[in-house]
Amino acid sequence: MKSYRIACIPGDGIGKEVVPAGQAVLEALAAAQRGFRFEFSTFDWGGDWYRAHGEMMPAAGLEALRHVDAILFGSAGDPHIPDHITLWGLRLKICQGFDQYANVRPTRILPGIDGPLKRCAPADLDWVIVRENSEGEYSGVGGRVHQGHPIEVATDLSMMTRAGVERIMRFAFRLAQSRPRKLLTVVTKSNAQRHAMVMWDEIAVQVAQEFPDVKWDKELVDACTARMVNRPASLDTVVATNLHADILSDLAAALAGSLGIAPTANIDPERRYPSMFEPIHGSAFDIMGKGLANPIGTFWSCVMLLDHIGESEAARQLMQAIEKVTADPRLHTRDLGGKATTEEVTNAVCALLAQNDRLRVA
Ligand code: NAD
Ligand code: MN
């Protein structure tokens, strides 16, 4: 029987609630499918690890993850540690260490979930935002000089490399080509940022020539926010820089109903390293430890994980179970206006997966 090694990194806050929920769902799926199994290993890195060891994860941590088939991640962020330390010390260390340069964020209107998009978009709306995940505004290049003095200076340099832009454009065009509408929007800000973003636009034109069957257009990022609200059906696949796509994808999640339902994949398309799957949301300090966290974003991330490792039938079944659960308002968590707990939603998804199994056996 095929066996997949999955590393679980719950991290901080509600990551500690939604990642075990994701693991439970994957286990239920493997039990029902019977064609494969998972070997999970959990790494307790994050804020608590930082308090004990002075770092968010051990120096040799990447080596420990190097040979797993996929990583399921929760969130990094602790109320008592500055956000740039938690983010750079764990999540970005893994994303950058494993060169997961394509961050993929789908948005759909799930059955039963009410959000602003539902009122202005067709029910079959299907966006995928591709975020450059290795450089740009979050390259980490910059510094502070004269700290604390009146002449203090601070810079964050946005670094764009030709190789980095070419590979994310190619990934986005290829993804658009594989989807029914073959439609790509390249988000830019080349009116105001006249160097890197101009190169970004030029490379889009060059790469587009390799994909003559993909229709594509260009949109300034500020205009794109308005287009997402006013003409949502005009978008399908979207590619944007690290910062732009970070913001656009949170907007997409909120428009679709809640941050709690949106998934992400951090992908190394060349498969030199493991890829990492995580809900889009953060540690949600305001609700942590209360059983209020919506696990749907993590479950949908598990769907992406399954697709990535090649178990597409299992991915389809899990997505179907997720949609059955969201369709039932009694199974909505508080962020969706309901009263269900993380555990109740998890149990409902697991029960549906087990039911599939019984139907298959019968
Ligand atoms: P957040 O996503 O943690 O929370 C924003 C709001 O959405 C909160 O009101 C929260 O309760 C709600 N929410 C988020 N996920 C939910 C879920 N699954 N179910 C129900 N409600 C949910 O964003 P924030 O408040 O800006 O950040 C909190 C911390 O998380 C910060 O330290 C930040 O740096 C970190 N963070 C980490 C990641 C990551 O690791 N990928 C992403 C975003 C934020
Ligand atoms: Mn973000």
At 76 the three-state DSSP class reads coil
Pick the CATH number of 1-105+262-362 from 3.40.718.10, 2.60.40.740, 3.30.465.10, 3.40.190.10: 3.40.718.10
Choose one of 75, 80, 344 to mutate for the ligand 1 pocket test, by most ligand atoms within 8 angstroms of C-beta: 75
Residues with C-beta less than 6 Å from any ligand 1 atom:
14, 75-77, 83, 87, 91, 259-260, 278, 281-287, 293-294, 297, 333, 335
pTM (two decimals): 0.95
**Is residue 362 predicted with pLDDT exceeding 70?**
no
Nearest ligand 1 atom to alpha carbon 295: 18
pLDDT digits (tens, 9 = 90+) for 40-89: 999 999 999 999 999 999 999 999 999 999 999 999 999 999 999 999 99
pLDDT band of 354, cuts 50, 70, 90:
very high
Nearest ligand 1 atom to alpha carbon 298: 18
Choose one of 56, 87, 259, 346 to mutate for the ligand 1 pocket test, by most ligand atoms within 8 angstroms of C-beta: 259
Residue spans per domain, the chain = 1-105+262-362, 116-255
pLDDT band of 121, cuts 50, 70, 90:
confident
Which protein residues have their CB within 5 A of the ion that is ligand 2? 246
Considering only CA atoms, which residue is closest to atom 26 of ligand 1? 282
pLDDT digits (tens, 9 = 90+) for 87-105: 999 999 999 999 999 999 9
Q: What are phi and psi of 263, to 5 degrees?
A: -105, 165
CATH topology of domain 116-255: Isopropylmalate Dehydrogenase (3.40.718)
The predicted model gives 303-307 an average pLDDT of 98
**Among the listed ranges 76-80, 249-253, 317-321, 355-359, which one has the minimum average pLDDT value?**
355-359
116-255: same fold as 1-105+262-362? yes
Considering only CA atoms, which residue is closest to atom 24 of ligand 1? 282
The predicted model gives 3-27 an average pLDDT of 98
**Is residue 266 predicted with pLDDT exceeding 80?**
yes
**Is residue 329 predicted with pLDDT exceeding 90?**
yes
d(CA 132, CA 348): 35
pLDDT of residue 359: 66
Q: Could you tell me where the beta strands, DSSP code E, fall in 172-236?
A: 183-188, 215-220
d(CA 284, CA 309): 29
DSSP letters of 146-195?
A: STTSTT-EEEEEEE--HHHHHHHHHHHHHHHHHSTT-EEEEEE-TTT--S
- pLDDT > 70 in the chain, percent: 98
**Is residue 361 predicted with pLDDT exceeding 60?**
no
pLDDT of residue 339: 97
pLDDT digits (tens, 9 = 90+) for 148-196: 999 999 999 999 999 999 999 999 999 999 999 999 999 999 999 999 9
Residue 324 burial by Cβ neighbours in a 10 Å radius (0-12, 13-18, 19+): middle
When the pLDDT of each residue in the chain is averaged and rounded to a whole number, the result is 96
The number of beta carbons lying within 10 Å of the beta carbon of residue 330 is 10
Considering only CA atoms, which residue is closest to atom 22 of ligand 1? 260
Considering only CA atoms, which residue is closest to atom 32 of ligand 1? 77
Considering only CA atoms, which residue is closest to atom 36 of ligand 1? 282
The predicted model gives 207-231 an average pLDDT of 97
The ligand placed nearest to the CA atom of residue 92 is: 1
**Dist. CA 66 → ligand 2 center (Å):** 25
Give the Cα-Cα-Cα angle 199, 202, 206 (nearest 5 degrees).
Answer: 135
